[in-house]
């Protein structure tokens, strides 16, 4: 979910080696005496500390106390290596029992994962927020379990808005007018539009949704070059980029983190952001507000949701033990402890409702409200990684001076169709 900071590769590999050794001697038949589950998890500690390890230590300690026949061996690896290391383990025939990583679809397509109904109890299955559970499906069977979630909102610099006597926009026309007013006041980047390679696929989807489109439709799969999407990028090019409202860095060369950093310096009037931007802005003393991204004529049809995933691998045959541990992991206490620690959103209904009601995170209220009706990228398609990479490389060209939105979107759509037909 791009909330990721990195630990050294040497340390990560060493941790993996120690963890892999822990697999030796584990029984392969579920329920046959003492079993040690191997869990590989991603590190969410952006300060480079050990808080993620501490979280899993507490969860495992309590679980093992209640389930004396099951041990859980946890390796926490940085986001820059964890997906690749799990892939290496699977390829080497040493799959973990459980992995908490960024994607599940390749493993599901290869038949390596338990389906969710094979491992989770019915009450736990039913407790996940619908958009997140749906995004965990491949060919109408759920394999990916949403571990934690986020949504996106429009951030605006409250101080700059007050100086220009502006209100947060509710439509594209108002957004354009606000951006022009900020430019007239000397704001360096009235609206930051990061279509660089870091996370262009996310910025693209947010704008597609605000224009009434999306990456996919319910009938024919990918719908990247739909009339709605073409109209959206024509508007962005003509009304924001060509008007000089997106700042000194061309959108195709602007990465998300650079845009966030500029916002935290007070140089950006508006941009789309996720919860981690709140903390970054606070640390720099930037006053901000947040509203849903405006649509062409009013409220967008949906906000973009994002999830990280946890999954159970079949290789070691520990279906029953995996299910017990995952059921325990998704009790409200554990879910809320993790979400609280990292300013993220719970993936379950009950924990989400508790977070909304307990008053501990008022700044997350808008994000929580957007999550139940959010739309996620088509992560259940094994073609999505290739399509996503193509978007990152090409979409910035749609709003460049010589670019044509229709041609760029049609080119990406052609790649998507070919990739989907190859599934």
Question: Residue 48's pLDDT is what?
Answer: 78
Q: Which two tokens stand for residue 160?
A: 């700059």
pLDDT tens digits for 9-50? 233 333 333 333 333 333 334 444 599 999 999 999 877 789
In CATH, the number for domain 153-302+383-421 is 3.40.190.10
Q: How confident is the model at residue 100 (pLDDT cuts 50, 70, 90)?
A: very high
Query: Is pLDDT above 60 for 279?
Result: yes
Asked if 389 and 412 touch (Cβ cutoff 8 Å), the reply is: no
Residues with Cβ within 8 Å of residue 194, at least 6 apart in sequence? 200, 203, 251, 254, 255, 256, 258, 259, 271
Q: Is the pTM of this model over 0.85?
A: no
Q: How far apart are CA 191 and CA 160, in angstroms?
A: 12
Mean per-residue pLDDT of the chain:
90
Percent of the chain with pLDDT over 70: 92
Q: Spell out the domain ranges in the chain.
A: 9-150+306-373, 153-302+383-421
The full 3-state SS of the chain, as one line of letters, equals CCCCCCCCHHHHHHHHHHHHHCCCCCCCCCCCCCEEEEEEEECCCCCCCCHHHHHHHHHHHHHHHHCCCEEEEEEEECHHHHHHHHHHHHHCCCCCCEEEECCCHHHHHCCCECCHHHHCCHHHHHCECHHHHHHCEECCEECCEEEEEEECEEEEEHHHHHHCCCCCCCEHHHHHHHHHHHHHCCCCEEECCCCCCCCHHHHHHHHHHHCCCCCEECCCEECCCCHHHHHHHHHHHHHHHCCCCCCCCCHHHCCHHHHHHHHHCCCEEEEEECCHHHHHHHHCCCCEEEECCEECCCECCCCEEEEEEEEEECCCCCHHHHHHHHHHHCCHHHHHHHHHHHCCECCEHHHHHHHHHCCCCHHHHHHHHHHHHCECCCCCCCCHHHHHHHHHHHHHHHHCCCCCHHHHHHHHHHHHHHHHHCC
Q: How far apart are CA 378 and CA 310, in angstroms?
A: 17
Other beta carbons less than 10 A from residue 334's beta carbon: 18
Shared fold status for 9-150+306-373 and 153-302+383-421: yes
Question: Residue 391's pLDDT is what?
Answer: 96
Centroid of chain to Cα 216 = 18
Question: Residue 32's pLDDT is what?
Answer: 45
Question: Residue 419's pLDDT is what?
Answer: 92
Question: Residue 9's pLDDT is what?
Answer: 29
Query: Is pLDDT above 60 for 338?
Result: yes
User: Which comes out higher in pLDDT, residue 120 or 371?
Assistant: 120
Region 180-202: what's the mean pLDDT? 96
What are φ and ψ of residue 69, in 5° steps? -90, 0
Percent of the chain with pLDDT over 90: 80
Region 371-400: what's the mean pLDDT? 94
Query: Is pLDDT above 80 for 220?
Result: no
**What is the distance in angstroms between the CA of the first residue and the CA of the last residue of the chain?**
25
Q: Identify the weakest region by mean pLDDT among 14-23, 119-128, 249-258.
A: 14-23
Residues with Cβ within 8 Å of residue 91, at least 6 apart in sequence? none
Query: Is pLDDT above 80 for 218?
Result: no
Q: How far apart are CA 352 and CA 369, in angstroms?
A: 9
- The CATH class of the 9-150+306-373 domain is alpha beta
Question: Residue 25's pLDDT is what?
Answer: 32
Question: Residue 33's pLDDT is what?
Answer: 55
Centroid of chain to Cα 70 = 31
Region 181-198: what's the mean pLDDT? 97
Region 284-297: what's the mean pLDDT? 95
């Amino acid at each position: 979910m791009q909330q990721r900071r990195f630990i050294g590769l040497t340390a990560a590999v060493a941790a993996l080696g120690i963890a892999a050794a822990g697999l030796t001697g584990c029984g392969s038949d579920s329920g046959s005496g003492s079993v040690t589950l191997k869990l590989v998890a991603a590190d969410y500690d952006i300060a480079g500390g050990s808080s993620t390890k501490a979280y899993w230590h507490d969860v495992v300690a309590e679980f093992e106390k209640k389930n004396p026949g099951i041990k859980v061996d946890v390796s926490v690896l940085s986001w820059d290596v964890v997906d690749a290391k799990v892939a290496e383990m699977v390829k080497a025939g040493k799959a973990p029992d459980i992995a908490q990583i960024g994607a599940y679809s390749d493993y599901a397509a290869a038949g390596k994962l338990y389906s969710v109904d094979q491992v989770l109890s019915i009450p736990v299955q039913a407790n996940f927020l619908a958009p997140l559970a749906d995004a965990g499906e491949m060919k109408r069977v759920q394999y990916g379990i949403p571990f934690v979630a986020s949504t996106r909102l429009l951030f605006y610099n409250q101080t700059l808005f007050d100086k220009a006597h502006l209100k947060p926009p509710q439509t594209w026309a108002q957004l354009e007018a606000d951006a022009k007013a900020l430019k007239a006041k000397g704001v360096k980047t009235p609206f930051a539009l990061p279509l660089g390679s870091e996370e262009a696929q996310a910025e693209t989807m947010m704008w597609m949704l605000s224009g009434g489109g999306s990456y996919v439709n319910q009938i024919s799969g990918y719908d990247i070059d739909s009339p709605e999407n073409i109209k959206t990028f024509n508007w962005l090019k003509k009304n924001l980029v060509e008007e000089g409202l997106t700042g000194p860095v061309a959108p195709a060369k602007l990465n998300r983190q650079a845009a966030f950093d500029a916002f935290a310096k007070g140089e950006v009037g508006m941009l789309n952001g996720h919860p981690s931007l709140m903390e970054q802005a606070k640390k720099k003393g930037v006053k901000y507000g947040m509203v849903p991204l405006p649509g062409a004529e009013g409220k967008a049809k949906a906000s973009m949701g994002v999830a990280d995933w946890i999954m159970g691998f079949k290789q070691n045959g520990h279906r029953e033990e995996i299910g017990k541990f995952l059921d325990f992991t998704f009790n409200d206490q554990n879910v809320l402890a993790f979400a609280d620690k990292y300013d993220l959103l719970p993936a379950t209904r009950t924990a989400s409702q508790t977070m909304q009601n307990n008053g501990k995170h008022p700044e997350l209220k808008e994000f929580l409200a957007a999550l139940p009706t959010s739309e996620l990228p088509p992560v259940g398609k094994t073609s999505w990684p290739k399509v996503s990479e193509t978007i990152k490389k090409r979409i910035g060209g749609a709003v460049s001076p010589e670019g044509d939105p229709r041609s760029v979107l049609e080119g990406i759509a052609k790649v998507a169709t070919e990739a989907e037909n190859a599934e």
